[in-house]
Amino acid sequence: MEAGAEEAAVGLVVLEKPNGGCGASCMQYRLVVRDVNTLQILQLYTCLDQIQYIEWSSDSLFILCAMYKRGIVQVWSLEQPDWHCKIDEGSAGLVASCWSPDGRHILNTTEFHLRITVWSLCTKSVSYIKYPKACQQGIAFTKDGRYMAVAERRDCKDFISIFVCSDWQLLRHFDTETQDLFGIEWAPNGCVLAVWDTCLEYKVLLYSLDGRLLSTYRAYEWSLGVKSIAWSPSSQFLAIGSYDEKVRILNHVTWKKITEFEHPATIANTKTIVYKEVEKSPSVETERLSFPPTRALASSLFSTESKYDISQVPVSLQYIKPVADRANPKMGIGMLAFSPDNCFLATKNDNIPNAVWIWDIQKLKLFVVLEQLCAIQSFQWDPRQPRLAVCTGNSKVYLWSPAGCVSVQVPMEGDFQIVSLSWHSSGDSMALLSKDNFCLCYLEREEVK
Amino acid sequence: MGDWKTITVPVLSSDSKNIFQYTSEKKISPPSMNSQVLRLPLPSSKSMHSFFSAFCTEENIEQSISYLNRELTTLGFPSIYAESKGKELNLISIINCMNELLVLQHKNLRAQEEVEMQHLKLGSDMDHLQNCYAKLKEQLELSKREIVGLQERDRQLQSKNRTLHQLLKNEKDEVQKLQNIISSRATQYNHDMKRKEREYNKLKERLHQLVMNKKDKKIAMEVLNYVGRADGKRGAWRTDKTEARNEEEMYKVLLSDYEQRQNQLLVENAELKKVLQQMKKEIISLLPPQKQKPKERPEDGPVLSDLEEDIGELNKENMWELSCETVREQLTNSIRKQWRMLKNHVEKLDNQVSRVHSGALNEKDVISREDHELETEKLELEIQQCKEMIKTQQQLLQQQLMSPCDDDTTLLLQDCYLLEERERLQEEWRLFREQKKNFEKERRSFTEAAIRLGLERKAFEEDRGAWLKQQFLSMSTDYKHSENVTTPSAFLGSSDQDNQLVKSTSQQRKPYCTLSGPVSAEPWQTSRYITRNSSTAASTKPAGDSKPNQWVESDKEETE
């Protein structure tokens, strides 16, 4: 585990170059590119304003830095540090910005979602997409980068436009039967588009690539509906997490529910393994105590080590019932993620914020529950193998794999509260982000003979 | 029961001044009945005298006697007067009457006692019954009260039930109402949202117009130099052709995805069909061979013929592979049927087992569980023993094979199968050798006998020759004068004969010598056999002439 340098940055976003090698981090108005293995600064760029968002292009040659306040996007090249590009949206304002899959176009969403401008780095052409939908996931690219689906809203009705990314030609334009479209997501095979409605209405629609409605799924009426959706990597399953604390799995053949996973506060099934994080008091060697105590020693004294214990079933978890009169209540399934080998599904029930539920997809049963001491901030699967990394806002990162789970302390001086994490595409390392700092965690690969 | 106490009072006849008193007293426990009982009192001894004196005094003896007589006669007793008239009393009849009266009194007393006993019994019975009645009445009262209580509870519960039903209905109505409210509110909100959205859109349009009109030079992209495309190609114009191409590509993508899925499903389908076929076969084999086949055949018959008409010559296996609707249905139906039969069979077996377990044995079809277990144990033991035997045999075999040995013994061992034969052969050799020895011995003895015989013959011939000579000499002296011519011829003949004989004997002598050596077995054997015969004779009669002649002749024959 190597710790990164301390950097005070606002809106720190760390993205790793997809093809290994470099990691970028931004600090206020400076963009720092480091080597992933040595954390040595390779490049340093200065932008015009405070950077809110950075993104690598798909071929890892360019980085875009978006400054929403100024409405400017600056693009930097890694090969040619002298090359520069600035896109100014002016009075149109900027709300979101992203790369196109080919790495040569930038899609800017103007303020109030007036339009999406497609700027090309190769040609002088500019394309506009009118009436984009102001929702969480309004733009979706297929995995192979060929098609882009954009959610639009005209005359109080939702539409979806499918564009060909190579020449930005409109392929299909059709309306959806949603009240208020909340999000769209392509299946990994690029042939089916999942569209779901606002949480006031439980409705999931599945459209084929050519715009035909394949199926509609409604679990119930009136109660709060879909909170999160995830496709399995093989496109076989669609997991729908809803506000009623259940995950429903649809299969790709009939688009009907094959099972639903409940998240009760008491786990009674004896076949489920429950790992509970417990604190273990740190062993202090009195001989090594010195005065004044060094920072490292101080931090290690005050930081509590933790380990996992296997709890005996039945286990009752801490259940929180949210206040009824607030919007967007903290209940229901807020996070869903399939493992890359399609064997496991990790979920988080916001009513039980300290637990990660891992389901075995082959058996369609609950496999493991990780009970943490603090609330789960985020988790992410290793892109190569069924290994889950979890962070709960303290200075530990937790790893689970079918072989077991481990709690790793980040050896940082001072407080390092991990808020989010991000795996490298090779699965060998991951970046742990706190509000101001980040650190890279390297995982050793075991030699299996 | 009550205590009975009686006070007896003497009873007097009506026409005297005697007082009849009937009294009885008794102490009874409260619930029983009060009754007055008449009792005829027995006179006590003390009052008896006074009683008697009261009835009959010295003045009215006659009157009392006549009165007594009258009473007795009316009662049927004979008169106490002797003779019909007169005042003489018949003592005998008086005594008889008295006796009769006493007997009657006893009888009456007994009867009275019996009646009293029965009376007592009835009284106690009646008490008992009264008690029972009272208890039953109590119980009846209690149960009536209970019933009333339960009925009351039942009524309460029913009313509660009704209220709960009512509440439930109310709740349901409320839920329905709330749902209606929600839906109406939702439509209202949607409507309001739409209105607001339209307003918002209008504002956005306005803003957009303003933004576009301003012709903000700022909305631009400054780039040092344009970057090449990622894939190196040059940008193309958007034309109809490209549109068509895009469509085509899209459909290609979709089609390939569908094809892939279909292939997967086909593979899965084929596998499942195979598994079903296998299962069906196994189920058929599991089931006892009953009337399945005739059932199947008529079913398959018409359909088969139809399919065959349609498809042509195909065997059954191939037909299952087609995904015809009818074929698929057929397969699933036949599997279901077989499975049902198997289930029935298993259930039947279960029932049989449970029946056996519970004790009822059906000896025709079912072997009792204990017997079955015993049999299995026996069989297992046998199997164990056989296995052990096989193991030991294997071990021995291995030992033999593995034991170290040199070439000779290996050869011997390799020829172990011939050992027996070898043994046999050796036996035979032994026998042969023995025989050979015997024959040698015999041969030696024969040669010795032959030598002896030769010697004897020689001696005999010499004797014979000498004798003949003598004779001839004697004869010749006789006939020398008469027949000189003939006798010499005769002599010559005889001498020739003699010479011949001598020659033959001399000749024969040689063969003896030659024959004594080793000669081919056969002629020797035959000669031996002959010699054996002759030797037996020779041993008995060593100087026998005829035999030696025979022998010689035969020998001669042999040698020549």
* pLDDT at residue A39 in the model: 77
* pLDDT (average), residues A375-401: 91
Structure-model confidence comparison of residues A298 and A123, the more confident one: A123
Report chain A residues whose CB lies below 8 A from the CB of B227: 62, 77, 83, 104, 121-122
C-alpha span between B414 and A261 (Å, rounded):
76
C-alpha span between B153 and A289 (Å, rounded):
79
Distance of CA A278 to the CA centre of its chain: 27
Report chain A residues whose CB lies below 8 A from the CB of B231: 102
Q: Which two tokens stand for residue A83?
A: 């090359």
Please tell me what DSSP assigns to residue A366. E
Structure-model confidence comparison of residues B322 and A213, the more confident one: A213
Q: Which two tokens stand for residue B15?
A: 């026409």
Structure-model confidence comparison of residues A369 and A433, the more confident one: A369
Q: Does A143 touch chain B (CB under 8 A)?
A: no
Report chain A residues whose CB lies below 8 A from the CB of B229: 102, 104, 122
* pLDDT at residue A168 in the model: 87
C-alpha span between A359 and A347 (Å, rounded):
8
* Three-point CA angle A227, A113, A45, nearest 5°: 95
Please give the backbone phi and psi of residue B472, each rounded to the nearest 5 degrees, phi first.
-60, -45
Measured between CB atoms, which of A90, A125, A167 is closest to B219?
A: A90
Measured between CB atoms, which of B186, B194, B246 is closest to A169?
A: B246
Q: Quote the mean pLDDT of chain A.
A: 84
Say how many CB pairs under 8 Å bridge A and B. 113
> What is the layout of strands, in order, in the sheet containing A72-77?
A53-56, A62-67, A72-77, A84-88, B220-223
DSSP string, A250-308: EETTT--EEEEEE--SEE--TT-EEEEEEEEPPP--GGG--SSPPHHHHHHHHSPEEEE
Does the pLDDT at position A375 exceed 70? yes
Does the pLDDT at position A4 exceed 90? no
Query: Would you say the ipTM is above 0.90?
Result: no
* pLDDT at residue A406 in the model: 87
Q: Does B232 touch chain A (CB under 8 A)?
A: no
Does the pLDDT at position A6 exceed 60? no
Please give the backbone phi and psi of residue B527, each rounded to the nearest 5 degrees, phi first.
-65, -35
How many Å lie between the alpha carbon of B238 and the closest alpha carbon of chain A? 7
**Residue A440 near residue A7 (C-beta atoms within 8 A):** no
| Alpha carbon distances (Å) from A322 to A246, A316, A319, A325, A332 | 16, 18, 10, 9, 10
* pLDDT at residue B239 in the model: 77
Q: Does B186 touch chain A (CB under 8 A)?
A: yes
Listed in sequence order, the residues at least 6 apart from A22 whose beta carbon sits closer than 8 Å to its beta carbon are A16, A33, A34, A35, A36, A42, A60, A78
Listed in sequence order, the residues at least 6 apart from A345 whose beta carbon sits closer than 8 Å to its beta carbon are A230, A232, A239, A247, A261, A336, A337, A338, A339, A358, A359, A361
* pLDDT (average), residues A334-363: 93
Which of A61, A72, A88, A179 to mutate against chain B (most B CBs within 10 Å)?
A88
C-alpha span between A45 and A54 (Å, rounded):
12
C-alpha span between A302 and B272 (Å, rounded):
61
How many Å lie between the alpha carbon of B204 and the closest alpha carbon of chain A? 7
Question: Which residue in A has a C-alpha nearest to residue B218's C-alpha?
Answer: A90
Identify the weakest region by mean pLDDT among A36-40, A417-421, B204-208, B335-339: A36-40
How many Å lie between the alpha carbon of B197 and the closest alpha carbon of chain A? 7
Q: Does B133 touch chain A (CB under 8 A)?
A: no
Listed in sequence order, the residues at least 6 apart from A273 whose beta carbon sits closer than 8 Å to its beta carbon are A310, A367, A368, A369
Does the pLDDT at position A423 exceed 90? no
Which of B181, B221, B264, B268 to mutate against chain A (most A CBs within 10 Å)?
B221
Structure-model confidence comparison of residues A328 and B27, the more confident one: A328
Which of A72, A152, A156, A198 to mutate against chain B (most B CBs within 10 Å)?
A156
Q: Does B233 touch chain A (CB under 8 A)?
A: no
Which of A45, A102, A107, A114 to mutate against chain B (most B CBs within 10 Å)?
A114
Task: With CB atoms and an 8 Å threshold, state whether A104 touches B198.
Answer: no
Task: With CB atoms and an 8 Å threshold, state whether B254 touches A189.
Answer: no
Task: With CB atoms and an 8 Å threshold, state whether A83 touches B218.
Answer: no
End-to-end CA distance of chain A: 25
**Residue A378 near residue A391 (C-beta atoms within 8 A):** yes
Task: With CB atoms and an 8 Å threshold, state whether B227 touches A86.
Answer: no
pLDDT bin (cut points 50, 70, 90) of residue A97 is: very high
* pLDDT at residue B36 in the model: 44
List the 103-122 stretch of A: residues with Cβ below 8 A of B. Answer: 103-104, 112, 114-115, 119, 121-122
* Three-point CA angle A44, A50, A53, nearest 5°: 80
Listed in sequence order, the residues at least 6 apart from B68 whose beta carbon sits closer than 8 Å to its beta carbon are B80
C-alpha span between A72 and B408 (Å, rounded):
106
Of A16-25, A240-249, B198-207, the range with the highest mean pLDDT is A240-249
* pLDDT at residue A192 in the model: 94
pLDDT bin (cut points 50, 70, 90) of residue A340 is: very high
Question: Which residue in A has a C-alpha nearest to residue B223's C-alpha?
Answer: A85
Measured between CB atoms, which of A83, A87, A147 is closest to B221?
A: A87
How many Å lie between the alpha carbon of B167 and the closest alpha carbon of chain A? 24
Q: Does B377 touch chain A (CB under 8 A)?
A: no
Please give the backbone phi and psi of residue B443, each rounded to the nearest 5 degrees, phi first.
-60, -45
Does the pLDDT at position A424 exceed 50? yes
Task: With CB atoms and an 8 Å threshold, state whether B227 touches A180.
Answer: no
Which of B178, B245, B250, B265 to mutate against chain A (most A CBs within 10 Å)?
B250
Q: Does A83 touch chain B (CB under 8 A)?
A: yes
**Residue A14 near residue A23 (C-beta atoms within 8 A):** yes
**Residue B186 near residue A145 (C-beta atoms within 8 A):** no
Residue ranges for chain B with pLDDT beneath 50: 1-2, 7-40, 291-315, 484-560
Report chain B residues whose CB lies below 8 A from the CB of A124: 226
C-alpha span between A37 and A361 (Å, rounded):
35
Q: Report the residue count for chain A.
A: 449
How many Å lie between the alpha carbon of A87 and the closest alpha carbon of chain B? 4
Does the pLDDT at position A417 exceed 50? yes
User: What is the Cα gyration radius of chain A?
Assistant: 23
Taking Cα atoms as reference points, which of B474, B465, B456 lies closest to residue B498? B465
SS3 content of chain B, % helix, strand, coil (to 5): 75, 0, 20
C-alpha span between B417 and B404 (Å, rounded):
19
Whole-prediction pTM value? 0.60
